[in-house]
Amino acid sequence: MKVYDISRQLGENTPTWPGDTPFSYTVNWSKQHTGSVNVGSVKMSVHTATHVDSPFHFDENGKRMDELNLSIFMGPAFVVDVSSYETVELTHVEDIITQHPTKRILFKTNAWKKEEEFPTNIPTLSVDVVKLLGKMQTPLIGVDLPSVDDLDSKELPIHHALHQANISILEGLDLREVEEGEYELIALPLKLKRTDGSPVRAILVKN
Protein backbone atom coordinates (compact mmCIF):
# COMPACT_ATOMS: atom_id res chain seq x y z
CA MET A 1 0.00 0.00 0.00
CA LYS A 2 1.34 3.44 -1.00
CA VAL A 3 0.15 6.61 0.76
CA TYR A 4 0.49 9.99 -0.96
CA ASP A 5 0.22 13.13 1.15
CA ILE A 6 -1.54 15.59 -1.16
CA SER A 7 -1.87 18.39 1.41
CA ARG A 8 -0.01 21.67 1.20
CA GLN A 9 2.00 22.54 4.27
CA LEU A 10 0.71 25.12 6.72
CA GLY A 11 3.43 27.46 7.92
CA GLU A 12 4.53 31.07 8.04
CA ASN A 13 5.40 31.00 4.32
CA THR A 14 2.10 29.45 3.20
CA PRO A 15 0.48 31.85 0.71
CA THR A 16 -3.12 32.84 1.21
CA TRP A 17 -5.69 34.90 -0.66
CA PRO A 18 -4.52 38.52 -0.86
CA GLY A 19 -5.90 40.32 2.18
CA ASP A 20 -7.03 37.13 3.96
CA THR A 21 -5.73 35.97 7.35
CA PRO A 22 -2.26 34.41 7.02
CA PHE A 23 -1.28 31.30 8.95
CA SER A 24 0.51 31.86 12.26
CA TYR A 25 1.45 29.64 15.18
CA THR A 26 2.33 30.99 18.61
CA VAL A 27 3.53 29.22 21.76
CA ASN A 28 1.36 30.85 24.40
CA TRP A 29 2.63 28.80 27.32
CA SER A 30 6.12 27.36 27.12
CA LYS A 31 7.41 24.34 28.99
CA GLN A 32 9.84 26.68 30.70
CA HIS A 33 6.90 28.52 32.27
CA THR A 34 4.44 25.65 32.80
CA GLY A 35 7.03 23.17 33.99
CA SER A 36 5.49 20.39 31.89
CA VAL A 37 4.24 21.29 28.39
CA ASN A 38 4.31 23.71 25.48
CA VAL A 39 0.84 24.98 24.50
CA GLY A 40 0.34 26.82 21.24
CA SER A 41 -2.42 28.44 19.23
CA VAL A 42 -3.06 28.75 15.50
CA LYS A 43 -4.60 31.64 13.60
CA MET A 44 -5.56 31.25 9.94
CA SER A 45 -8.26 31.54 7.31
CA VAL A 46 -10.24 28.33 6.80
CA HIS A 47 -9.43 28.69 3.08
CA THR A 48 -5.67 28.43 3.51
CA ALA A 49 -3.72 25.73 1.63
CA THR A 50 -5.66 22.43 1.28
CA HIS A 51 -9.27 23.00 2.28
CA VAL A 52 -12.94 22.28 1.68
CA ASP A 53 -15.47 24.95 0.71
CA SER A 54 -18.86 24.55 2.30
CA PRO A 55 -21.77 25.86 0.20
CA PHE A 56 -22.24 28.70 2.73
CA HIS A 57 -18.92 30.10 1.48
CA PHE A 58 -20.66 31.38 -1.67
CA ASP A 59 -24.37 30.90 -0.92
CA GLU A 60 -26.03 32.56 2.09
CA ASN A 61 -28.54 29.69 2.25
CA GLY A 62 -25.97 26.94 1.67
CA LYS A 63 -25.00 24.25 4.15
CA ARG A 64 -22.27 24.96 6.67
CA MET A 65 -19.26 22.75 7.25
CA ASP A 66 -20.79 20.72 10.09
CA GLU A 67 -23.87 19.94 7.99
CA LEU A 68 -21.98 18.08 5.24
CA ASN A 69 -21.87 14.28 5.10
CA LEU A 70 -18.37 13.00 5.92
CA SER A 71 -18.71 10.14 3.44
CA ILE A 72 -18.27 12.70 0.65
CA PHE A 73 -14.65 13.20 1.64
CA MET A 74 -13.51 9.59 1.58
CA GLY A 75 -13.78 6.87 -1.04
CA PRO A 76 -12.78 5.94 -4.60
CA ALA A 77 -11.13 8.74 -6.56
CA PHE A 78 -9.58 9.26 -9.97
CA VAL A 79 -6.78 11.72 -10.70
CA VAL A 80 -7.08 13.27 -14.17
CA ASP A 81 -3.98 14.92 -15.62
CA VAL A 82 -5.11 18.13 -17.34
CA SER A 83 -1.77 19.92 -17.06
CA SER A 84 -1.63 20.80 -20.75
CA TYR A 85 -4.86 22.84 -20.80
CA GLU A 86 -5.56 26.47 -19.87
CA THR A 87 -9.28 25.71 -19.68
CA VAL A 88 -10.49 22.16 -19.08
CA GLU A 89 -13.11 21.56 -21.75
CA LEU A 90 -15.48 18.60 -22.02
CA THR A 91 -13.65 17.25 -25.07
CA HIS A 92 -10.42 17.02 -23.03
CA VAL A 93 -11.80 14.79 -20.28
CA GLU A 94 -15.13 13.27 -21.35
CA ASP A 95 -13.77 9.87 -22.39
CA ILE A 96 -11.72 9.25 -19.27
CA ILE A 97 -14.21 10.69 -16.78
CA THR A 98 -17.14 8.65 -18.10
CA GLN A 99 -15.16 5.50 -17.33
CA HIS A 100 -15.26 6.37 -13.61
CA PRO A 101 -18.86 7.11 -12.57
CA THR A 102 -19.55 8.05 -8.92
CA LYS A 103 -15.81 8.42 -8.18
CA ARG A 104 -14.36 11.61 -6.77
CA ILE A 105 -12.48 13.40 -9.57
CA LEU A 106 -9.23 15.24 -8.84
CA PHE A 107 -7.88 17.55 -11.54
CA LYS A 108 -4.10 17.75 -11.75
CA THR A 109 -3.18 21.03 -13.47
CA ASN A 110 0.36 21.61 -12.13
CA ALA A 111 -0.42 25.31 -12.58
CA TRP A 112 0.53 26.43 -9.04
CA LYS A 113 4.21 26.70 -9.94
CA LYS A 114 5.75 28.42 -6.91
CA GLU A 115 4.75 26.80 -3.62
CA GLU A 116 5.32 29.92 -1.50
CA GLU A 117 3.64 32.36 -3.89
CA PHE A 118 -0.07 32.81 -4.53
CA PRO A 119 -0.70 32.28 -8.26
CA THR A 120 -1.84 35.18 -10.43
CA ASN A 121 -3.53 33.11 -13.14
CA ILE A 122 -5.06 29.63 -13.02
CA PRO A 123 -6.90 27.25 -15.38
CA THR A 124 -10.58 26.57 -14.79
CA LEU A 125 -13.22 23.99 -15.67
CA SER A 126 -15.88 24.60 -18.26
CA VAL A 127 -19.51 24.41 -17.14
CA ASP A 128 -20.02 21.50 -19.56
CA VAL A 129 -17.53 19.44 -17.54
CA VAL A 130 -19.49 20.20 -14.38
CA LYS A 131 -22.76 19.18 -16.06
CA LEU A 132 -21.24 15.83 -17.03
CA LEU A 133 -19.96 15.26 -13.50
CA GLY A 134 -23.43 16.03 -12.18
CA LYS A 135 -25.01 13.45 -14.50
CA MET A 136 -22.46 10.91 -13.27
CA GLN A 137 -23.34 11.65 -9.61
CA THR A 138 -19.78 12.65 -8.79
CA PRO A 139 -19.77 13.46 -5.04
CA LEU A 140 -16.67 15.68 -5.01
CA ILE A 141 -14.07 17.29 -7.22
CA GLY A 142 -10.62 18.45 -6.17
CA VAL A 143 -8.15 20.85 -7.76
CA ASP A 144 -4.50 21.66 -7.10
CA LEU A 145 -5.42 25.35 -7.19
CA PRO A 146 -6.73 27.91 -4.68
CA SER A 147 -10.11 28.05 -6.46
CA VAL A 148 -12.25 26.30 -9.06
CA ASP A 149 -13.08 29.71 -10.54
CA ASP A 150 -10.97 32.49 -12.01
CA LEU A 151 -9.15 34.28 -9.22
CA ASP A 152 -10.83 37.63 -9.95
CA SER A 153 -14.34 36.22 -10.41
CA LYS A 154 -17.14 37.67 -8.29
CA GLU A 155 -19.95 35.59 -9.78
CA LEU A 156 -18.15 32.26 -9.14
CA PRO A 157 -20.01 30.35 -11.88
CA ILE A 158 -18.16 27.07 -11.33
CA HIS A 159 -18.72 27.12 -7.56
CA HIS A 160 -22.44 27.62 -8.15
CA ALA A 161 -22.65 25.05 -10.95
CA LEU A 162 -20.97 22.45 -8.74
CA HIS A 163 -23.33 23.30 -5.89
CA GLN A 164 -26.36 22.90 -8.18
CA ALA A 165 -24.99 19.53 -9.25
CA ASN A 166 -24.57 18.48 -5.59
CA ILE A 167 -20.78 18.22 -5.94
CA SER A 168 -18.52 19.22 -3.04
CA ILE A 169 -15.34 21.24 -3.56
CA LEU A 170 -11.81 20.42 -2.39
CA GLU A 171 -9.18 23.04 -3.23
CA GLY A 172 -5.45 23.59 -2.76
CA LEU A 173 -4.29 20.02 -3.32
CA ASP A 174 -0.68 19.10 -4.08
CA LEU A 175 -0.73 16.50 -6.86
CA ARG A 176 2.79 16.99 -8.18
CA GLU A 177 3.96 13.52 -7.15
CA VAL A 178 0.75 11.71 -8.13
CA GLU A 179 0.24 10.05 -11.48
CA GLU A 180 -3.08 9.86 -13.30
CA GLY A 181 -5.08 6.89 -12.08
CA GLU A 182 -7.35 5.34 -9.45
CA TYR A 183 -6.87 5.86 -5.70
CA GLU A 184 -8.71 5.97 -2.41
CA LEU A 185 -9.14 9.53 -1.13
CA ILE A 186 -9.31 10.54 2.52
CA ALA A 187 -9.68 14.30 3.04
CA LEU A 188 -11.67 14.79 6.24
CA PRO A 189 -12.52 18.35 7.29
CA LEU A 190 -12.39 19.44 10.92
CA LYS A 191 -15.58 19.34 12.96
CA LEU A 192 -16.05 23.11 12.85
CA LYS A 193 -19.47 24.44 13.78
CA ARG A 194 -21.28 26.68 11.28
CA THR A 195 -18.20 27.56 9.20
CA ASP A 196 -17.81 28.35 5.51
CA GLY A 197 -14.90 25.94 5.06
CA SER A 198 -12.26 23.85 6.76
CA PRO A 199 -8.61 22.88 6.35
CA VAL A 200 -8.05 19.19 5.66
CA ARG A 201 -5.19 16.67 5.70
CA ALA A 202 -5.73 15.00 2.36
CA ILE A 203 -4.15 11.69 1.35
CA LEU A 204 -4.45 9.27 -1.55
CA VAL A 205 -4.00 5.55 -1.01
CA LYS A 206 -2.88 3.18 -3.77
CA ASN A 207 -3.27 -0.53 -3.04
User: Which residues participate in catalysis according to the annotation?
Assistant: 57
Question: Cα separation of 100 and 21, whole Å?
Answer: 38
Instruction: For 52, list phi and psi in degrees, rounded to 5.
Output: -105, 140
| Residue at 14: amino acid letter | T
What values do phi and psi take at 95, rounded to 5? Answer: -60, -45
Query: What are the start-end ranges of the E strands in 38-157?
Result: 39-43, 51-53, 74-81, 87-88, 104-108, 124-125, 140-143
